[in-house]
C-alpha cells in the first residue's frame, strides 16, 4: 500500500491507542526505579506526537521513495490566518547560481568530482517552486497599497507587493534527509516564525535526491538567495538587502544553509545577516558516536531511511555478488576508513589499467593493522596521494576525458584491527555517492574553516542521533584553530587548504542543547521548550537584522529578555481556557509599521548580556537565576565571548553547558572524523539485508520494469527524430546520436521534416536537457541521464516536445500513436507537458490530506498544552495565596 492518508491512519491509530494506555505505566515505572529527572516523554502530548512521527517514518521505510515524495510534496492549502503567495524562481536566477557554483568548483573539480557542469542544471520545471509567507494581520495593515500597483499584476503578485514593507526576511530551507519533505510539510512552522518576528518568509521546493542528487539542491537554494537579493526586472518584489535576510533550515535544510554560507564567503559575495540551524545534518559519513547511542530517543529509524525497491532506488535492486558489504579484495589505496579518490593522477590511472589487465599484480590482502601500520603500505599510498595532488595542481586539464575512471570500493575502518577490512559495494546515501560524502559541500562540518561566517544560532536535541556532530559544528565554527580540519580533506582540495589561512576569525555562535528532545525539536510546537525556541529564534532574527555591524561586534547575541518581550502570548490557535486573545500590535495606530514595532520591541542595544532569560508559560514568567560569567563562554578569556553555550530543559529554562573537556564529542581527534566506520555501516547493512529478503520479488519486478522503460525511451527518441527533432550537436551528422540507420537516413533525405515544429517552443533562457549530456558522467541515480524510470521519461519528453533547450534546433510534433497513448495514461497528457517528478513538482492532493491532519493535531495539542499550563499556573497562584494568608494570620 503506498503512502496515503488512509494507510498512515491505519498504521498510526493502534500506536496512539496503545501509547495512551501505556504512558502512565511507563512514567510510574521510571519513577519507581529512582529516575526522577524530567523528560519530554513525561508530557502525554509530546509522547503521543513523538510516537506518531516515529511510527509514520517506520511505515514509510516499507514504501517506495517515489510514494513518500508524492505524499510529502502534495499541495496543501495554508491556514486562513496566514498569507501565502506562490511564485517561481526563474531560470535567470538559476543560471546566476549555476555560474557562481561553477566558479567555486572550478573546471577540474566539476569534471572529476561532480561529473560535469550541465547535468545538475537540468530541471523539469521552468524554475523553482517557491512561496512568500507572512501573517495575514501584517499584510492587512498595508491595505490600500494595491491601488498603487500595476493593475496587470496577478492576485499573488499583488500580495507579494503588499509584503514589501516587511523588511526582515527569513529564507527557510526545509529538511527531509535531502530526499523528501517540501514547503507543505514545513509551512506550519514557517508561518509561526514569520508571526513571531513580525516579518515575511521565503521558502523554496529545491530538487530532491536521488533523482536530483548533489549539488542540485545547493544550486536551487543559491538561486533562491539571488532571487531575493538580485531579482529579475519582472519580479514583483523589491531587492532585499542581504543584511535583512536570515537563513534558516532544519536537518538537511540546515546543512544546505551552511553550504550556502561557505560558498558566499569563499567567493566574497555579500553574506546574509545570520543563520538559524535547527538540528543540521552536516556529516553524511556518520562518524560521530551519538549515531549509535540515541536510537530510542530519536525519530530517525534504527537502520536509516530504507525503502521498498522501485525502478528509482536502490540502484542495485539485488545485492551484488558477495553482498553489499564484503571483505576487501585489494590493498590500499584507499586506506581503511576512506573512499577512493575521484581525482586520480596519471600514475594512478596507469597502475589501475595495469591491474585490470593483470589482477595478480596486487599483493595478497593484508589485515587492517598491517595496512595502517606497515611503513611500506603507507609510503606507497602516501606517494600516490602526493603524486595525485602534484599532478592535479600542475595539470588542470587532468586525464583525458575519454578515460572513464572507476574508483575502488571504499574500505571501512574496522573495530578489530586484526580483521580484513570490509569494503562497501552499494551506495548508502541517496544525496551523494560514497566517494562524495566527505566533500565539504556535502558534509559541511568538514570545511577547511568555518570561521568568518555571519552569526549562527544552532539548536540540537540531546536525544537525537546527530547530537555530537552538531555540538562539534557549533564549537568548530566558534573556535576554528581549536578544531582543525582533517589532513585528507586539506590535501584533496586546494581551496580548503587556503581557507584555513584565510578564515581564522571565530564565528559568533549561540548554541543550545535541548534536554531529551529528538531530531528537530521545533516540530513539536506545543512543548514549552519549543515555544521558547520560536521566541528565541525570533529575537535572534530581529537582533541581527536591526543592529549595525559595529553593534553586532559589541553585542553579538540578543538580550536574554528579548525572547519574552517579543512574544509573551501563545499563538492564537494555542490559546487555552482563561487566556484572552491579544494580537500583537492590536493597540498600535493604523499607521504603525512592523519595522518600527520591532525596533521598539528590541531591548536596549548595548546593555549587558547578563540579564536573566524569562520564559512565559501559562501567563507567568519563569526566570532562571543569572548565568555565572564563567559559564557564558568556553573559556574565561574575553577572546571567547563570541560564543554562548547553553542547555534548555523541558520547561524552556536555560542553564550553562558543561566545559568542553567534559563533552566527549569535542575530544575526538580530527583524524577519526569524516571516515567510514564499521559499526554505522553494519547497522545499515543488517536492515538492508532484511529488506533484500523481504522484497526480493518486488526488486525482480522493478528490474523487469526498468528494461521495459529503457525500450520505451529508445522508441520515444526514434519517433522524435523521425518527426523532425534535431539537436545542435548532431545537425551535421544525424547518425552520430541516432543509432537507427533508417531514422538517420530519413533525416538526411527529408530535411523538410526537420523544420516542422509543434506547439512547444525553444527556450530563450540558458538551460540544458537530457540530450546535452553526452560527455558528462552524473551519479547513476540522476534522472537527467537515466532512461529506466517513469520520471526520467517524463523529463526527457518535456524537453523534447514542450520546453526545448536552446541546443534543440526544432520541437517536433508527437506521433498520433504516442498522443493516443498519452491520453490513456493517467500520468500523461498529450496537450500539456507531462507532470514532473514529485522530487521537484508539487502533486495534487485530496482535501483531507495527512499533512493537514498533522497540522490539526499540533493545533489540538497546542491548545490542550496551553490549557494545562494555565491551570497549573492557577493552582500555583492559589497555593501561594493560601500560604501567604496563613503567614499573615
The residues that are catalytic are 251
Among residues 304, 300, 289, 280, the alpha carbon closest in space to that of 442 is found at 280
Report the C-alpha gap between 500 and 480 in whole angstroms: 8
Report the C-alpha gap between 355 and 332 in whole angstroms: 13
Q: Where are the alpha helices (DSSP H) in 395-465?
A: none
What is the torsion angle, in degrees rounded to the nearest 10, for the CA atoms of residue 590, residue 594, residue 600 and residue 603?
A: 160
Distances (CA, A) of 94 to 101, 222, 822, 841: 10, 8, 30, 16
The secondary structure element, H or E, covering residue 678 is: helix 678-694
Among residues 69, 114, 116, 124, the alpha carbon closest in space to that of 94 is found at 124
Sign of CA dihedral 849, 854, 855, 861: positive
Half-sphere exposure of 230 (CA within 13 A, CB side): 11
CA 163 to chain centre: 27
* Three-class DSSP labels, 490-556: HHHCHHHHHHHHHCCCCCCEEEEEECCCCCCHHHCCCCHHHHHHHHHHHHHHHHHHHCCHHHHHHCC
Location of C-alpha cell 527569513: 170
Report the C-alpha gap between 877 and 871 in whole angstroms: 10
Angle between helices 91-105 and 216-229 (to 10 degrees): 120
Contacts of 888 (CB under 8 A, 6+ apart): none
Among residues 789, 856, 843, 793, the alpha carbon closest in space to that of 821 is found at 793
Question: Three-state DSSP class for 132?
Answer: strand
DSSP letter assigned to residue 808: B
- Asked if 390 and 445 count as a contact pair (C-beta separation under 8 A), the reply is no
The secondary structure element, H or E, covering residue 216 is: helix 216-229
Amino acid at each position: 500500500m503506498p503512502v496515503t492518508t488512509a494507510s498512515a491512519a491505519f498504521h498510526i491509530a493502534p500506536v496512539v491507542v496503545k501509547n495512551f494506555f501505556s504512558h502512565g505505566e511507563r512514567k510510574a515505572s521510571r519513577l519507581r526505579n529512582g529516575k526522577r529527572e524530567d523528560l519530554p516523554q513525561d508530557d502525554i502530548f509530546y509522547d503521543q506526537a513523538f510516537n506518531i512521527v516515529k511510527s509514520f517514518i517506520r511505515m514509510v521505510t516499507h514504501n517506495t521513495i517515489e510514494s513518500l515524495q508524492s505524499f510529502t510534496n502534495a499541495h496543501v492549502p495554508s491556514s486562513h490566518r496566514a498569507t501565502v503567495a506562490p511564485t517561481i524562481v526563474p531560470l535567470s536566477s538559476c543560471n546566476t547560481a549555476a555560474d557562481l557554483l561553477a566558479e567555486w568548483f572550478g573546471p577540474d573539480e566539476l569534471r572529476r568530482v561532480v561529473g560535469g557542469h550541465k547535468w545538475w542544471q537540468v530541471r523539469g520545471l521552468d524554475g523553482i517552486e517557491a512561496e512568500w509567507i507572512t501573517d495575514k494581520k501584517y499584510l492587512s495593515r498595508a491595505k490600500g497599497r494595491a491601488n498603487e500597483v500595476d493593475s496587470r499584476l496577478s492576485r499573488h503578485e499583488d500580495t507579494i507587493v503588499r509584503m514589501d514593507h516587511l523588511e526582515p526576511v527569513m529564507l527557510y530551507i526545509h529538511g527531509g534527509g535531502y530526499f523528501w519533505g517540501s514547503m507543505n510539510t514545513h509551512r506550519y512552522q514557517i508561518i509561526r516564525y514569520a508571526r513571531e518576528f513580525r516579518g515575511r518568509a521565503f521558502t523554496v521546493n529545491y530538487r530532491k535526491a536521488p533523482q536530483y542528487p548533489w549539488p542540485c539542491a545547493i544550486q536551487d537554494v543559491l538561486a533562491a538567495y539571488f532571487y531575493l537579493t538580485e531579482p529579475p526586472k519582472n519580479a514583483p518584489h523589491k531587492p532585499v538587502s542581504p543584511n535583512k535576510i536570515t537563513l534558516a533550515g532544519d536537518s538537511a535544510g540546515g546543512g544546505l544553509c551552511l553550504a550556502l554560507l561557505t560558498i558566499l564567503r569563499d567567493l566574497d559575495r555579500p553574506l546574509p545577516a545570520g543563520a538559524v540551524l535547527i538540528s543540521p545534518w552536516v556529516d553524511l559519513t556518520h562518524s560521530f558516536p551519538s549515531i549509535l547511542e540515541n536510537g530510542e530517543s530519536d525519530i530517525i529509524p534504527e537502520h536509516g531511511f530504507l525503502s521498498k525497491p522501485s525502478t528509482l532506488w536502490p540502484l542495485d535492486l539485488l545485492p551484488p555478488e558477495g553482498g553489499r558489504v564484503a571483505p576487501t579484495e585489494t590493498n590500499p589505496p584507499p586506506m581503511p576508513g576512506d573512499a577512493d579518490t575521484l581525482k586520480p593522477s596519471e600514475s594512478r590511472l596507469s597502475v589501475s589499467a595495469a591491474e585490470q589487465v593483470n589482477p595478480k599484480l596486487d599483493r595478497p590482502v593484508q589485515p587492517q593493522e598491517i595496512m595502517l601500520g606497515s611503513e611500506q603500505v603507507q609510503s606507497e599510498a602516501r606517494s600516490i596521494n602526493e603524486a595525485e595532488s602534484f599532478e592535479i595542481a600542475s595539470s588542470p586539464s587532468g586525464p583525458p576525458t575519454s578515460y572513464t575512471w572507476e574508483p575502488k570500493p571504499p574500505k571501512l575502518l574496522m573495530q578489530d584491527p586484526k580483521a580484513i577490512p570490509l569494503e562497501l559495494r552499494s551506495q548508502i546515501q541517496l544525496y551523494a555517492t560514497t566517494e562524495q560524502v566527505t566533500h565539504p559541500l556535502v558534509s559541511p562540518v568538514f570545511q577547511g574553516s568555518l570561521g568568518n561566517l555571519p552569526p549562527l544560532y544552532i539548536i540540537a536535541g540531546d536525544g537525537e542521533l546527530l547530537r555530537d556532530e552538531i555540538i562539534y559544528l557549533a564549537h568548530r565554527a566558534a573556535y576554528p584553530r581549536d578544531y582543525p580540519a582533517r589532513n585528507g580533506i586539506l590535501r584533496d582540495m586546494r581551496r580548503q587548504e587556503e581557507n584555513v589561512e584565510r578564515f581564522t576569525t571565530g564565528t559568533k555562535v549561540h548554541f543550545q542543547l535541548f534536554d531529551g528532545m529528538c531530531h528537530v525539536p521545533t516540530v513539536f510546537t506545543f512543548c514549552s521548550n519549543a515555544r521558547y525556541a520560536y521566541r528565541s529564534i525570533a529575537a535572534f532574527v530581529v537582533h541581527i537584522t536591526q543592529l549595525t555591524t559595529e553593534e553586532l561586534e559589541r553585542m553579538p547575541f540578543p538580550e536574554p529578555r528579548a525572547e519574552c518581550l517579543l512574544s509573551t502570548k501563545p499563538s492564537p490557535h494555542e490559546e487555552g481556557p482563561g487566556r484572552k486573545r491579544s494580537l500583537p500590535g492590536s493597540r498600535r495606530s493604523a499607521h504603525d509599521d512592523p519595522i518600527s514595532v520591532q525596533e521598539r520591541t528590541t531591548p536596549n542595544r548595548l546593555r549587558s548580556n547578563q540579564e536573566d532569560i524569562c520564559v512565559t508559560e501559562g501567563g507567568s514568567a519563569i526566570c532562571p537565576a543569572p548565568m555565572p560569567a564563567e559559564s557564558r563562554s568556553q573559556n574565561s578569556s574575553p577572546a571567547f565571548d563570541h560564543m554562548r553555550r547553553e542547555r534548555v530543559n523541558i520547561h524552556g529554562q536555560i542553564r550553562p553547558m558543561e566545559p568542553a573537556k567534559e563533552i566527549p564529542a569535542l575530544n575526538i581527534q580530527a583524524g577519526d572524523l569524516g571516515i567510514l566506520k564499521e559499526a554505522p555501516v553494519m547497522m545499515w547493512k543488517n536492515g538492508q539485508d532484511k529488506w533484500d529478503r523481504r522484497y526480493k520479488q518486488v526488486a525482480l519486478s522493478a528490474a523487469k520494469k526498468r528494461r521495459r522503460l529503457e525500450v520505451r525511451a529508445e522508441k520515444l527518441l526514434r519517433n522524435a527524430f523521425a518527426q523532425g527533432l534535431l539537436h545542435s550537436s548532431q545537425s551535421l551528422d544525424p547518425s552520430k546520436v541516432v543509432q537507427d540507420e533508417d531514422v538517420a537516413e530519413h533525416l538526411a533525405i527529408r530535411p523538410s521534416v526537420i523544420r516542422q515544429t509543434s506547439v512547444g517552443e525553444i527556450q530563450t533562457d540558458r538551460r540544458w536537457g537530457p540530450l546535452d549530456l553526452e560527455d558528462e558522467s552524473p551519479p547513476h541515480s540522476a534522472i537527467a541521464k537515466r532512461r529506466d524510470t517513469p520520471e526520467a521519461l517524463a523529463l526527457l519528453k518535456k524537453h523534447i516536445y514542450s520546453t526545448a533547450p536552446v541546443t534543440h534546433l526544432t520541437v517536433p510534433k508527437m506521433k498520433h500513436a504516442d498522443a493516443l497513448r498519452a491520453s490513456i495514461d493517467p500520468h500523461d497528457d498529450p496537450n500539456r507537458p507531462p507532470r514532473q517528478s514529485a522530487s521537484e513538482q508539487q502533486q495534487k492532493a485530496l482535501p483531507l490530506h495527512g499533512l493537514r491532519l498533522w497540522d490539526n493535531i499540533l493545533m489540538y495539542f497546542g491548545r490542550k498544552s496551553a490549557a494545562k499550563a494555565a491551570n497549573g499556573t492557577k493552582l500555583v497562584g492559589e497555593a501561594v495565596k493560601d500560604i501567604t494568608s496563613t503567614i499573615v494570620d
